[in-house]
Structure 1
Amino acid sequence: LLTAPEGQEDLLASARVQIAAICDQLQTGETIDWPGLLATAGPARLQVETAEELTREGVAVFYENLEPWRRVDTLFVLGFCAGHYPTATPGSPVFSEEDILALKKAGCALESAGEQNARLRAIFARQLRAAATEIHFLVPRRTAAGEAQTPSASLSFMASLFTGIDSPEELILDLDAEQERKRLRGLALVEPAVPEPPRPLDIGHLELKRNLLEILKSKDGTPYPLSPSSIETLMTSPLAWVLGRAGLEPRDWNPEELDVMSKGTLAHAVFEGLFAPGKDLPDAATIRTAIPSLLAQSVSRIAPFLQRPEWKVERNHLQKEIEEAALSWRLMLEKMGARPLGVEVWLRGQLDSQPIHGSADCLLQLPDGRILVVDYKKSKSKSRRERMQAGYDSQASLYRIMLKTGSGEFLSSDGTKVTIEPDAEIGVLYYLMNDQTALADTDHWLDPSPPGLEELGADVSVEAMKLIRQRLVEVKQGRVLLNTESDAAWFETNAGITLYALKDNPLVKLFLLPAEEVHP
């Protein structure tokens, strides 16, 4: 019944011999000799001879300024540039050379710069003597930052060992020079080849054939809600939206700075403390008194670098801007008779069948019960007005949809519960802090309107919502439209929108289609 693989017939014969021996032992004795059987049936170790070449310690690495630990056939000296081989010796930060010599005479075991340099040079010489046949010195031309480098000072000592050269630099062969390359031994050269043009980049709209809204899902398996800013990105650049949804965005590092976003975040925090629900409207004196402490608290939590003395001018300037904006906003609230229902109110609802969520800066209630969704912006009103007049504003209108389609009960950041009746009339208002202007999508809600407040009517988002719904249908089908070279100018001129997607993600700009006359 025993068989043997090809080439192992001798092992089969050995096994049969052992089996026969075991059978003989069992037949001759009256009792079973278990130790003897185990000894007879014991496995034998197979000795397999291999012709593999041992590669242990095939390459030895000597670190600069350390003793060589073995002999080598060929030695490569890497980074043979100024300051190395030997390493440049810094002077003592405490003692001068004269001090060190005086201390040595007094019996202190101190090493002067000259002695240290001689010791390191001796180590380098012993490293060179570890090579049996060849030594190659590699001299980098430039640093990693692109700065020019010179050869090691040891090159001058090496030049004294050669005849027929006028300068140490003649020992160096430039690999960019053909004649000098020919003088090198063992240099691997690429065979000449005909250059091939790069593969043409075929750019076209993406047909991914899957519901892209399901790339991210909540714990319950439903599509993860979209935020107003994400929806605006989808409206203007579907490719940027898909890349962001998949987490394929550049992670740039920038130094600490008081940019527009930082100013807006700090101003929002101060307004949240000044105009909170359940509190009387503060007068001008209270606002002026409260802002410094509120801003200081916000800075320590959000941008602590502003606490440093060198940021004092910028910090004071920001405080002045926030104070002007807060005083003007207070007058508007007083004229409207509005009271805050909640600040930083977390909202959740549905845009058709797509879950959406976001945080509204403030919810105001007018004396007649109407609700205003307020979005603070640390900017001027020009571009926002143009966007609203063109019908391409979407952000605050999406907050209104959340209020209409949500549960009816929402939570303010201070813990206040906000209840919105299903039949409540809801308007949208932007407060632009830099020029103290308020822009609303209402029509004759406030008659007369407070100074600085403009009612632009209900059509501020009609074009935006039409385009957003179109985009949602497309991405559900897996279709991703690429931007064109003329999109940035078109959105700027016709919609009042700056196409930040082209600046924020270089992949979007890489895959631009030729300009089109029909948009978007």
Structure 2
Amino acid sequence: MFYPFLVSDPRSGLRFRPNDKLLSELALAPAELEWLPGKAIARIVEPVWADSLANAPVETIAAVSSALANLVVATPNLRLPNLEAMPEGRARRHLLALAGIWRELGEALPQGLGAVRHALELSHGRFLSALPVVEGSLDPVAPAAMRALYYRLKSEFGTVPNQEGSRLAAPGTRLHAVQGGLTEATIEVGKRDGSISFYGLRDPNACANFAAARARMMIEAGEPANSIAVMTTGNTRLLERAFAHQGVPLSGLPGQLPKRDVLGETALFLLLAKRSPTPSMVLASLALSPVMPWDPQIGRDLAESLAGGDYRGTALRDTPAHVALWDDIRASASSLSQLRFLIDRICSQLSQGQALRELIAIPQVEGTPDWDGLLRAISVGPHAIGDPVRNLEGVSIWNASESPWRPCSHLIVVDFTEGAYPSRPRPNPLFLDSEVVAVREATGLTLFGRAEGLAASLSLFDQQIQAAAQSVTFLVPRRDLAGSRQAASAGMSLMARVFDGSPDASDLIVDLSTVPPEQWPISHHQPPPPSTTSSPLGALDLSGRDLLALRLDENGVAKPQSPSRLETLLVSPFAWLLEELGVRDLSWASEGLDVIIKGNIAHDVFENLFVPGDAFPDATSMPETLQTIFDRALGRHAGFLRGSAWEMERRGLESDILQAALRWREHLVNLGAKIVGNEIWLAGTAHGVSLRGKADAILCMPDGSLLVVDHKKSGTAGRRKRMEAGWDLQAGLYRDMIARPTRSEGDGMDPLVGRRVGIGYHLMNDGGLLTSGFLPVASSTARDMGELINEGAVAKLGERLGELKLGRIVLNTTDDEAFFKKEAGFTPYALTDGLLLVRAFVQQAVAEE
């Protein structure tokens, strides 16, 4: 809880802001009851927000909880107020609804307010020690409860004089003018001086480095560290790192890192895991939960495999009990009894299982779970941050949402961006601004609306500016840490008025990227520029290594290459090397419907819709048949698409696949083809390399020849362009495996060997069928692309394989992407969408003389 006034230590005379711990100890306050408004809001049927709760439970609970906390601190005694004077109407209904939730929560109060109420009701003489307040330190827009506490302490312990005036800066300076009239209609105008300055930097990290360097420069010039303050709106980790690097001590860092509500999060994820479909990120979060019994590294391995689409839990296979627990976590529940059974069995195997089970309220009845109601009842607390640890000697850290805890000579604002200084006012989630006024007039309760919020934020910004005696430096990060652009704070316009000519606010910012380093207002150093005389790397020399034997099977034999791996080698040998070494991107992202998932689902549907040996599905009954197969494919590849939030995408994908299936059926009928097999494993040799891969479909033509088909979830134009350019590769490798097979017992290749083989690409998006080595009949819409579809690709692949034999990994150049797109007719995804590491090693192309 933030206390908007200062108190004084009777022994040392030190002025500081009180905190929950101090007040609880001096007032001997009992332990606070847990404040869980979310459960009460979900449990009580309240017409005021019932519809909103049904449609947006998380947002509604947050809004009502915020409004309730606002009402609580608006009462001077932190007790339920008398609302009888409130006239009938919308505002009265909303107030009574909030009062009903408060009444349901009993004696519980938001964190920190329990000690405040205890202190307000404590008899004089019962405090363990005196706690006088600093005269005039009470924030003028402080809520009623905090004002009451200030006057309660003042009535018993009195006040000490405020040693600082409201205008600390020297008269005549621009800072002095701002301190006297930041929000006044008229303000003293003068020339720019060093008391107020604005600097633009790239991002918050650069701002933190600048602040630390500027503080160090001041200290080296003789300024005491405790006369400098740094103000920020958010995380202090960047400041902590930057100041530690400069060797400058800080005062006001949090006593502990933010702590998550681990039990609350785990309870929420467990319920989400029981509702089908379960997002993979939910399972990954459970794998990483500290509540789980397995080693943290095993949890990380499990989470990484889940993020990659592997749900088997192989990381747990060495401990059967953990495998059984994981099976229970993954299992969905279709009834309340099944849900209770699974949750009870899971919690019984966890170290904090009893406390976790108490957070999950499952009705003791039979029936289908009300998932929305169950999830609403789970309350996940915010990250708990320790109270700031303050000392007398370090540079002060001020929080932008709090008034200064001690004055300073020099203030550095490190994130002077839009939405802060002053903070953007927010409307009351339950009351219109006119209703806020009506509530105040009828009951005396000052709820916060937009006007009150703006007044409070302006007053706070004014207090922060007034606490600096010599200078204020505003740093404007042009981008956030994600690279998005940021605008300067609206407070720029308020301060631009004190300068002659009323310049445009943006003109006041000095962009350091345009200023020579020797003119920077801080000491600096720059790393030497990279040498321009070194020649391009060109290639990695790995001679002495058999690069085609980096992956070995259990017998120590080199694993065969797949057509897709050779396609990667064709585009980028370095990307191929990383793939052979198992280097992959481990970044996490929420589930989404990308091209790969669409392709996997479409292939699955085609495999189970067009079954070898069965008659082709009838066109009229295909929609019904496909619907069942499509749903099973979703379960195998993208369970999240079964959720209601993905209904539009799911229906669109199902419709696309249905149209593709109808067109594929038409091709099969017109060609008179029979399906030999789907997803058939082939093995053989080509270009001196062992190959193994899975063919999407193999068709038998009426003349006995075979057509190896590769289904592509793309359009015809791009594939036709590549085949015309002579840079096709993948399907031809399947034909090579049939022509030069590597046989094994039960490989199923007997019906394939010795036949004439053609290849084809079925482009699902528009139904095109492009072939080579096979001349379609006149009744078919398939198009023969001739025999010269892979000349360029085969030549380049031979060159790449020759380089591998010499142990050379040739690196890509900046010309390669354009070559593949323009000359070869395809997008080199290994370069455009592959690992960032691959793009980092792209060499500058050398211009031909």
Task: Bin the TM-score by the shorter chain.
Answer: 0.5 to 0.7
Distance, in Å, in 1 between the alignment partners of 2:522 and 2:456 is 36
1:138-217 correspondence to structure 2 within 5 Å: 138=474, 140=476, 142=478, 144=480, 145-146=484-485, 148-152=487-491, 155=494, 159=498, 167=502, 174-175=509-510, 187-188=521-522, 199=532, 202-203=535-536, 205-210=538-543, 211=545, 212-217=547-552
Tell me, what secondary structure is at the counterpart of 2:491?
coil
> What CA deviation, in whole Å up to 9, does each residue of 1:151-177 have, x standing for no partner?
517945995xxxx95659899964359
What residue is the counterpart of 1:407 in the other structure?
744
> What CA deviation, in whole Å up to 9, does each residue of 1:394-429 have, x standing for no partner?
32333345451142534xxxxxxx353695436242
Distance, in Å, in 1 between the alignment partners of 2:724 and 2:457 is 76
Whether 1:90 aligns to 2:426 is yes
Tell me, what secondary structure is at the counterpart of 1:358?
strand
Q: Name the Cα RMSD after superposition.
A: 5.2
What residue is the counterpart of 1:137 in the other structure?
473
Distance, in Å, in 1 between the alignment partners of 2:710 and 2:551 is 27
Residue of structure 2 aligned with 1:373, choices 698, 704, 708: 708
Contact 2:813–2:844 (Cα < 8 Å) also in 1? yes
> What CA deviation, in whole Å up to 9, does each residue of 1:65-123 have, x standing for no partner?
22444455533233345643442332323223443233234435333455555555555
> What CA deviation, in whole Å up to 9, does each residue of 1:13-63 have, x standing for no partner?
xxxxxxxxxxxxxxxxxxxxxxxxxxxxxxxxxxxxxxxx99573232111
> What CA deviation, in whole Å up to 9, does each residue of 1:283-336 have, x standing for no partner?
44444653455456546754839953478677645533431232222332xx24
Q: Which structure 1 segments of 5+ residues have no match?
A: 1-52, 411-417
Tell me, what secondary structure is at the counterpart of 1:327?
helix
What code does the residue aligned with 1:64 have? A
What residue is the counterpart of 1:25 in the other structure?
none
Whether 1:234 aligns to 2:586 is no
Distance, in Å, in 2 between the alignment partners of 1:428 and 1:491 is 25
What code does the residue aligned with 1:273 have? N
Please, what TM-score do these two structures have when normalized by structure 2?
A: 0.42
Whether 1:363 aligns to 2:737 is no
Structure of larger gyration radius: 1
> What CA deviation, in whole Å up to 9, does each residue of 1:469-506 have, x standing for no partner?
44223113221335577767876788665555554458
Tell me, what secondary structure is at the counterpart of 2:397?
coil
Contact 2:683–2:691 (Cα < 8 Å) also in 1? yes
Whether 1:111 aligns to 2:447 is yes
What residue is the counterpart of 1:21 in the other structure?
none
What residue is the counterpart of 1:41 in the other structure?
none
Whether 1:75 aligns to 2:411 is yes
What code does the residue aligned with 2:473 have? F
* Structure 2 CA distance for partners of 1:62 and 1:267, relative to 1, 3 Å: same
Distance, in Å, in 2 between the alignment partners of 1:488 and 1:125 is 55
Shift of 1:188: 1.8
* Structure 2 CA distance for partners of 1:116 and 1:490, relative to 1, 3 Å: closer
Whether 1:396 aligns to 2:731 is yes
What residue is the counterpart of 1:48 in the other structure?
none
What residue is the counterpart of 2:757 in the other structure?
427
What code does the residue aligned with 2:773 have? D
* Structure 2 CA distance for partners of 1:465 and 1:71, relative to 1, 3 Å: same
Whether 1:331 aligns to 2:667 is no
> What CA deviation, in whole Å up to 9, does each residue of 1:130-150 have, x standing for no partner?
55x534230528564435435
Contact 1:205–1:479 (Cα < 8 Å) also in 2? no
What code does the residue aligned with 2:732 have? S
Distance, in Å, in 2 between the alignment partners of 1:241 and 1:67 is 57
* Structure 2 CA distance for partners of 1:201 and 1:420, relative to 1, 3 Å: farther
Residue of structure 1 aligned with 2:843, choices 507, 511, 519: 511
How many residues end up aligned between the 2 structures? Answer: 438
* Structure 2 CA distance for partners of 1:218 and 1:63, relative to 1, 3 Å: farther
Please, what TM-score do these two structures have when normalized by structure 1?
A: 0.63
Contact 2:417–2:486 (Cα < 8 Å) also in 1? no
Distance, in Å, in 2 between the alignment partners of 1:406 and 1:54 is 71
Q: Which structure 2 segments of 5+ residues have no match?
A: 1-246, 252-393
Distance, in Å, in 2 between the alignment partners of 1:169 and 1:149 is 12
Residue of structure 1 aligned with 2:804, choices 463, 475, 479: 475
Between 452-461 and 399-408, the greater mean CA deviation after superposition:
452-461
Distance, in Å, in 2 between the alignment partners of 1:137 and 1:459 is 69
* Structure 2 CA distance for partners of 1:474 and 1:420, relative to 1, 3 Å: same
Contact 1:64–1:86 (Cα < 8 Å) also in 2? no
Shift of 1:363: 3.2
1:256-295 correspondence to structure 2 within 5 Å: 264-287=599-622, 290-295=625-630
What residue is the counterpart of 1:16 in the other structure?
none
Contact 2:728–2:793 (Cα < 8 Å) also in 1? yes
